[in-house]
Structure 1
Amino acid sequence: MNGELAALIALCLHGNDWLASGTERPPALDRDNSAFRYVENVHVTCAQRRLLGTRKWEADGVAEWLRFVKDSGGRRLSLVVGGAQPADLPAPVAASFANGGRWALVDDALTPHLWQSHWAVHDRNRTDQRIWAVQLTGVPLDRSGVVQPPSSSARDDLRAALDAIKGFAERDVDIAEWASWFTEALGLLDAPEPAIPYNPDLAPEGLPLESRQLLAAAVKSWVFGGMGSWNDLAYSDAARGAEYDQRTDELYRSVLAALIAVTGGPLSVRV
């Protein structure tokens, strides 16, 4: 699973759990959650509109950020996809590089904020492996820029994409081992007790079963890494290569749609 995306999902789901709980102390996810296991610090800045212009708010840590969201009138966070593609690469390939994804969070304050993260290596020699410094930046967002999701089922779309890419893998002896990977992802869609791969604490315990199933399956379906991943395949046969690109793009889109559906948020934003 992409670490930057996993961190945003943890912020969204655990943040929503805290915002709805009414408890005083927000969770320090950057210290306690496995999605931040390689993060040294999280620094947050936000441009705030004022009558005589704008000013910048800034703080350190997830807990302070969540307090700011709540104090600004936010009651829910959502995962969104939007903005310009950061590289001249297909989206599934670009997502394998640091800061290569187009995902962000948005809150539901009266003046919503779009929250984008940027990861940079701060100290690669740390013995505890917390080598990353994360900058979380908020900008005011016009509500007209929020695009609502279509009525199609994210669960059905993910199942169909997994079935199709699994069939593609089964027809090629050189990549047949990937079929079992996709089979495991399909199984999580119906698992009675779905375990979220890699980051079992990615969601709070109270997440409904259907949402946990969809989240676990989407995380398992993330095969868009670098060397040795599904992205590392190449075909000299043009027809086979075209089908590979099609199935990869379908899976990538359905995984992101599934992750967005888990948060109950809008499909995308125009920025």
Structure 2
Amino acid sequence: MNGELAALVAMCLYGNDWLSRSAEPAPALDASNSAFRFVSSWRSQCSERGLFRHRSWEGDGVAAWLQHVKEGGSQRLTLLIGDGAASSGLPGHIEASFANGGRWAICTDGPRPRIWFCAWSVRDRADPNNRIWAVEMTSRGLPAAMEPVVDLGSARTDLRTALQAIERFAQSTDLRSWAGWFAQALGLLDTSEPVIPYNPDLAPSTAPTENRQLLAAAVQAWVFGGMGSWNDLVFQDEAQQSAYLDVTRRLYAAVLTAIATAANTAA
């Protein structure tokens, strides 16, 4: 799964869980959660211009950001995922394989709703612990909190349908290893004890089973990387190439919807 998106998913899931209880200190996810395993620093800042004065804030670490939004009156974090063509002109599933290629953010509600964006940059490629990324989180104000309409059942159905279609395509083109990959994702939609691949701690233990199933299946279905990934395939037959692009785009859309739905309905 895209690491930049995984970090925001964890922030929404654990952040909403903490905001609903908030008896304990805010979770320092950048120090403890596997979605941040390659992050060396996380710095957030915001600037607001009022009628009579200018407010600004800066903080280091996810816990500091969570505490800041809570003190500002936020009670809910919402994962936002954009759609449509990327500014580069590349399809979304291709653009997402590059750093800062995704179109996702977090919205905070409260008296002054804001949308928060992240910019990832390499700090030290030679870091012995592979924590090479420095993240800068900035925001802008919103007239109202953005709460996308989500339906867990529809997201599950759409993801299942997209996975079945792409699995059939993989079987028809003798891509057996990929067909098995998609079959595993389908299995995670129905398992009674779902374990999220790569980031088993991506969701807190309080997340409902249905949400964990959807998130686990979506993470397993994330095949949108660079060289050697599903994105790297090319078919000489025009009909096969057209079918490949169709099932890929459908899966990418279904995966993004599933991730947002799982993140936004868990608490």
Q: TM bucket by the smaller chain?
A: over 0.9
Superposed displacement of residue 110, structure 1: 2.5
- Superposed, 1:60-99 pairs within 5 Å as 60-82=60-82, 85-99=86-100
Shift in alpha-carbon separation, 1:108–1:224, aligned structure 2, 3 A: same
Superposed displacement of residue 111, structure 1: 2.2
Superposed displacement of residue 96, structure 1: 0.3
Query: What TM-score, normalized to structure 2?
Result: 0.94
8 Å CA contact 1:47–1:140 kept in 2: the answer is no
Query: What TM-score, normalized to structure 1?
Result: 0.92
Sequence identity of aligned pairs in percent?
52
- 1:26: which partner in 2? 26
Amino acid at match of 1:217: A
- 1:114: which partner in 2? 115
- Superposed, 1:250-261 pairs within 5 Å as 250-261=250-261
- Superposed, 1:50-65 pairs within 5 Å as 50-52=50-52, 54-65=54-65
8 Å CA contact 2:151–2:261 kept in 1: the answer is no
Superposed displacement of residue 239, structure 1: 1.5
- 2:194: which partner in 1? 194
User: C-alpha distance in 1, partners of 2:17/2:87?
Assistant: 31
User: C-alpha distance in 2, partners of 1:77/1:144?
Assistant: 10
Superposed displacement of residue 201, structure 1: 0.5
8 Å CA contact 1:194–1:216 kept in 2: the answer is yes
Spell out, residue by residue over 1:127-181, the C-alpha distance to the aligned partner (whole angstroms, 9 max, x if none): 11111001111211222866534797000000000000000000012x2210000
Superposed displacement of residue 224, structure 1: 0.2
- 1:244: which partner in 2? 244
Spell out, residue by residue over 1:4-46, the C-alpha distance to the aligned partner (whole angstroms, 9 max, x if none): 0110101110111111112141010010111111110001011
Amino acid at match of 2:135: V
User: How well do the aligned residues superpose, as a CA RMSD in angstroms?
Assistant: 1.8
Superposed displacement of residue 85, structure 1: 2.2
- 1:100: which partner in 2? 101
Secondary structure of the structure 2 residue equivalent to 1:125? coil
Secondary structure of the structure 1 residue equivalent to 2:119? strand
Superposed displacement of residue 101, structure 1: 0.3
8 Å CA contact 2:108–2:145 kept in 1: the answer is no
Spell out, residue by residue over 1:194-233, the C-alpha distance to the aligned partner (whole angstroms, 9 max, x if none): 0000001101011000011001001101000000100000
Amino acid at match of 2:240: R
Amino acid at match of 1:97: F
User: C-alpha distance in 2, partners of 1:54/1:209?
Assistant: 44
Paired residues in the alignment total 264
Amino acid at match of 1:52: F
Deviates more, 1:55-64 or 1:178-187: 55-64
Q: Which runs of 5+ in 1 are unaligned?
A: 266-271
- Superposed, 1:161-240 pairs within 5 Å as 161-173=162-174, 175-240=175-240
Structure 1 outlier segments of 4+, above 6 Å? none
Amino acid at match of 2:55: R
User: C-alpha distance in 2, partners of 1:93/1:153?
Assistant: 25
